[in-house]
Amino acid sequence: MSTPQPTPSLQGSCHCGAVRLTIPFVPDKATSCNCSLCRRVAGLWAYFEIGTVIVEGDPEHTADYVWGDKTLRTIRCKACGVVTHWLPLVPEPGARHGVNLRNFEPSLLASVQVRRFDGADTWTFLD
């Protein structure tokens, strides 16, 4: 008999805990992107409608990074440096934003299908 698995917490945080995120549900899929930024921060992105993720500690404990075509800001903890999420620079109604699932329990990640995205070159999924 297998042991029932406890439901993973929907709350994650940066390493030091200053920035905390609560997602509305466990996503089916996450994106691992190889673009010049994502491969460095090791982001594993799930996307949620803006406003559905509870973010605590932002902006008082965060810093932003904007690059490339300057459409979004990548947000990290000022204290521990961990990238927690990104937001569009101009959030439009209904738009989604990315949350870095690496800040959540490994048991949550275990149920998520990771898709590899070629953001460096072809801008398509590799699977």
The residues that touch Zn ion, with contacts defined as CB under 5 A, are 14, 16, 18, 77, 79-80
In SS3 terms, 69-97 reads as: CCCEEEEEECCCCCEEEEEECCCCCCCEE
Whether the bond between 27 and the residue before it is cis, its omega within 30 degrees of 0, is no
* Residue 55 tokens, joined: 């973010």
Of residues 13 and 117, the one with the C-beta less far from Zn ion = 13
- Burial state string for 81-99 with b = 16 or more CB within 10 A and e = fewer than 16: ebbbbbbeeeeeeeeebbb
CB of 80 to Zn ion, least distance (A): 3
Q: In terms of CB distance, is 15 or 29 closer to Zn ion?
A: 15
Q: How far is the CB of 85 from Zn ion (least distance, A)?
A: 13
Residue closest to Zn ion (Cβ)? 77
Name the minimum Å distance from CB 15 to Zn ion.
Answer: 5
Q: Which is nearer to Zn ion, 18 or 33 (CB)?
A: 18
Nearer to Zn ion, 105 or 115 (CB): 105
